Amino acid sequence: MEAEVFINFVKMAFLAQIGTERPVFVICVGHKTHISLRLLEIALEENVTILIMPPHSSHILQTFHLSCDEIIKTTTFCRGLDPNIKKYGFIKVGIYPFNGDIIPEERFNMQCLQ
């Protein structure tokens, strides 16, 4: 049921919010309630590419939390933040510019990644 709730969010809120310009690249938490065959079919139909983060890694890889979390307590939406603050999250986790060495391997729970 939870996967269906997420699919409804994607169809009713997310796709409506991003408009019609494509392709779109989305970074998604790899929680089992977020990922389903139906979600991937919708993404393919909508020309949306999804990068799925490994489970139990969002505290290390989630750009929003690493760049906006502290500031969000005083701002209603991250959307209103300076774009440089949002970009910092991508730099901090090594997504853009790519840096595969920025997060030490010991920060990951290897059992969860196998």
pLDDT digits (tens, 9 = 90+) for 72-91: 555 555 555 677 776 777 78
φ/ψ of residue 52, rounded to 5: -100, 120
Q: Do residue 64 and residue 113 come from a single domain?
A: yes
The answer to whether 35 touches 52, Cβ cutoff 8 Å, is: yes
Token code pair at residue 19: 């408009």
pLDDT, tens digit, 9 for 90 and up, residues 11-26: 998 898 888 999 999 8
Q: Look at the pTM and tell me if it is higher than 0.95.
A: no
Residues 23 and 41 in one domain: yes
Residues 37, 61 share a domain = no
**Is residue 32 domain-shared with residue 72, that is, in the same domain?**
no
Q: Are residues 16 and 67 in the same domain?
A: no
Please check whether residues 39 and 62 belong to one and the same domain: no
Q: Are residues 18 and 46 in the same domain?
A: yes
Q: What residues make up the domain containing 36?
A: 1-52
> Which residue in 6, 7, 41, 44 sits closest to 23, CA to CA?
44
Looking at the fold, whether 61 and 110 belong to one and the same domain comes out as: yes
Residues 63 and 89 in one domain: yes
Question: Is 65 found in the same domain as 43?
Answer: no
Query: Does residue 110 carry a pLDDT above 70?
Result: no
Same domain, yes or no: 59 and 114: yes
For the chain, the domain total comes to 2
Going by DSSP bridges, is the β-strand pair 24-28/48-52 parallel, antiparallel, or unpaired?
parallel
Q: Can you tell me the distance from the alpha carbon of 39 to that of 2, in angstroms, rounded to the nearest whole number?
A: 12
| Same domain (yes/no): 67, 111 | yes
